Amino acid sequence: MSRSFLRPKCRTWFIGSVSVGTGSVALFAVLASSAPWSPGRFWGLTFGTLAAVVFVLDGLYPLRRRLMGWPFGTAQRWLQFHIYGGALALLFVLIHVGFSLPNGQFGWWLFGLTLWSVVSGLVGVWLQKWIPTVLASQLSVEALYVRIPEMADRLQSEADAVARGASDLLERFYSGEIRPSLAGVAPSWSFLVGLAGDRERRLTPFRNVAQFVSEDDQDRLKGLEAIVTEKFELDAQYSLQRALRLWLPLHLFPAIVLLGLLAVHIFAVLYL
Amino acid sequence: MPTTDQPVDPGGNPLIARLPRYEPASIERLKTYPFLEQVNQRILEKLQPNLIERSYAPGDIILRLGDYNDAAYFIADGVVEVRISAVNAGSEDDPAPRAAPTPVTGARPQGLAARLRHIFARQPLEGAVQVGGRATDGTVILGDMPVGGRPGERVLLEPGEIFGELSALSRYPVSADVVACTQTRCLLIRTPALRMLLKQKPLASFKQMVDERYRTRSLSTHLRNVELFAELDGSIIAGLQRSAELVSFEPGAQIIEQDSAGDAFYLVRGGYVKVAVRAGPSQLAITYLRKGDYAGELSLLMDEPWPYSLFALEHVEMVKISRADFDQVVASHDTVRDLLWQSAVVRLKERGVALRSPVSAQYLQMAMDTGLIHGESVLLIDLNTCTRCDDCVRACADTHGGTPRFIREGTRFRQWSIPTACYQCTDPVCMIGCPTGAITRPIGSLEVTINKDTCIGCHNCVKRCPWGNIIEVPYSSPTINRDIELATKCDLCLGRTQGPACVQMCPHGSATRISFKDLETVTTTLSAEEMP
């Protein structure tokens, strides 16, 4: 595959973020070499504040449709800010604490949730780049996620109609090996590993039985094979689209908790 | 008078006042029309379903400016008034060429510099009415009324006159309001019947009349609308008007065969033409021609056989200009010669690209096969980057009171999904025959919109859309106090300053809108190497 999943979609955002990140680390290196670094001193607080501001702005991402894209103009720029801002916020947090491990349980929770939120976000970026290409390049069926179960349910009755009147051999093959696999959509994590193996596993029995099936039943067999292929594609579509959806809570809920803890942290710094 | 169950507006006025009474015409009745006297019984029986008599009360609007129409109107009794507007005024007497508008897509140019260039390069469609339109689409407006006149002038048509035939044949928007002045009866000759009548040998005089009307009333305007002829002297235009041949082709017909002798120049006045080059047993599409486009310059300029073939993709109407006239035009004007050479070079380049890279021809062929060539603003989704999050659909719903105007599911070509969303066709057939005039497109604009206050849920537009892109949603109409299936369609988020919400709110930049008028963008977009 020629595409690189590391290639940035918007080069300007990438170059800008790398520049800001490099500049921040260089500033930290200069400042930390001239005086002892502390999160509570001016520069430590500055980076901490920057991280907090970016996290809060990142947290506004779900409001993009209500804001009609404001202030970035398009949802795509909102997302770019969300991604690169989040990654930079992690860097600012690391600079804020002077690249040292946090103190105390609260510090660890803050640090752990920051790390989880950013890393899960980056995993999401990778999934959102990788899964669509698999869906587009390896599957010919394209279906709306909510409609897939209904489409899959229809296949069994279609297959029943095709198998009706078949010879005993084909009838036994159909009811024993094929029909059960057509009962409803069957999501599987194995599709994340690859599609070819599963496709092969489902279609091999057709090649095995083809040589024993009479000429009259060959068309029926081909019809059933087409239905099984479609079922495979629907299962794969459903599984991969589900992965895109299931990832979100893993990122979203810890991020909400992080924003809550961040508020407590700021309150503590200001008033305690 | 409207019957009691006819929908009325809050003021009690019938909403479908312009829906006239329908009177099926019997064969005997049809034979009373002078131009049908010579048609034999068998042909008349074939024509009958598409020959309809309609009566109009004084004040009824028969045709409305900007409507699309599928019938010519023969006045049997009564008098109708043609209200000339600024759009078609002075089609013959006013030689001012209309500036070619900038092709418009839903997408805005990116970057400040590009946007500024776009703003400064924009040229309004001269003389055209634009109501609420964001941009012009280059629609050619030709006078299809058998009158010449000035804006505001009252022109009356009497029995024996015919109007609307150009709109019906070539899908130009109606260029004037036509209103019944007295109790009027018209014979509606619907497009299939009109085409059949024009082919009947015994009715040569009928064809001659229709052609002559186009030649005298519209051809000069048409020529002036083509950049190539815009600057020509009036005398040359008048000469072309006299000598040009008007030709028609059936869908699928081969208009020109590759390698045949180049003897004429062709200007398209209606329909779509495929330009293809032979590659082994197949014909590779290199481009397509539409209203105002032309072909033949290459072989005439170089005095060589045709380097490509022309095929009619649908009913095609063309203006054929002979070699002698063409040579006269070329000799008279350096600009014309330069433009023709430029066009010839572009065509040769397209031919070369198609032959070197047959894959690029697939995109054009797909566009022709699926009807996308009609699209002025087609929504495309790149499945390689689309995460199926449906934010586009939600954004559409947010913009339209909670009901999305499109379905993400649709046809697929390679990595591109073409959702069930209005293409904003150049010739919107959905606009034909709306009984309340609820579906409209202001002349010169891109957006076809449906007014939910006047839609009565008759399904006419839904049935007419060849792509199934108009969807129906349950709606309790306060205007007619009735639950209806409201016809809804994408209106390109008319009035929304940020443009179509589906494109703006796609977080991955997967949604885009392209005009299939702009072939370069089409090929570049569809063949672009996908970026993760």
What is the reported pTM? 0.79
Is A238 an 8 Å CB contact of chain B?
no
Q: Which token pair is B442?
A: 């202001």
- Please, which residues have CB within 8 angstroms of residue B500's CB and are 6 or more apart in sequence? B106, B377, B379, B490, B492, B493, B513
Look at B387 and A128 and tell me if their CB atoms are within 8 Å: yes
Collapsing DSSP states into helix, strand and coil, what is residue B242?
Answer: helix
Look at A68 and B385 and tell me if their CB atoms are within 8 Å: no
pLDDT at residue B481 greater than cutoff 60: yes
- Total residue count of chain A as it appears in this document: 272
Instruction: Provide the H-helix boundaries in chain A.
Output: 11-34, 42-59, 75-96, 104-138, 148-163, 168-173, 196-210, 215-271
Look at A136 and B384 and tell me if their CB atoms are within 8 Å: yes
Sheet holding B511-514, edge to edge: B407-413, B416-420, B378-382, B511-514
Q: What is the residue-level pLDDT of chain A in tens, covering all 272 positions?
A: 445 566 788 889 999 999 999 999 999 999 999 999 999 899 999 999 999 999 999 999 999 888 877 888 899 999 999 999 999 999 999 999 999 998 889 999 999 999 999 999 999 999 999 999 999 999 998 999 999 999 999 999 999 999 998 888 999 999 998 999 898 899 999 998 888 888 888 999 998 888 888 888 899 999 999 999 999 999 999 999 999 999 999 999 999 999 999 999 999 988 87
Q: How far is B393 from chain A (nearest CA, A)?
A: 11
Look at B389 and A73 and tell me if their CB atoms are within 8 Å: no
Q: Which of A214, A139, A136, A209 is nearest to A175 (CA)?
A: A209
- Please, which residues have CB within 8 angstroms of residue A109's CB and are 6 or more apart in sequence? A261
Number of H helices, E strands in chain B: 16, 25
Neighbours of A219 (CB within 10 A): 10
Look at A132 and B504 and tell me if their CB atoms are within 8 Å: no
The Cα B248–Cα B210 span in angstroms is 13
Q: Which domains does chain B have, with CATH numbers?
A: 21-92+140-216 (2.60.120.10), 247-356 (2.60.120.10), 369-527 (no CATH)
Is A251 an 8 Å CB contact of chain B?
no
* Chain A residues touching residue B501 (CB < 8 angstroms): 68
Q: Which of A264, A255, A267, A205 is nearest to A57 (CA)?
A: A255
Q: Which of A127, A59, A126, A114 is nearest to A87 (CA)?
A: A114
Which H or E element spans position B348?
Answer: helix B334-356
Using CA atoms of B244, B246, B249, B255 in order, give the dihedral in degrees to the nearest 10: -10
pLDDT the model gives residue B532: 36
Mutate to test the interface with A, among B381, B386, B387 (most CBs of A within 10 A): B387
Collapsing DSSP states into helix, strand and coil, what is residue B158?
Answer: coil
Collapsing DSSP states into helix, strand and coil, what is residue A71?
Answer: coil
Which residue of B lies nearest to A148 if distances are taken between CA atoms?
A: B409
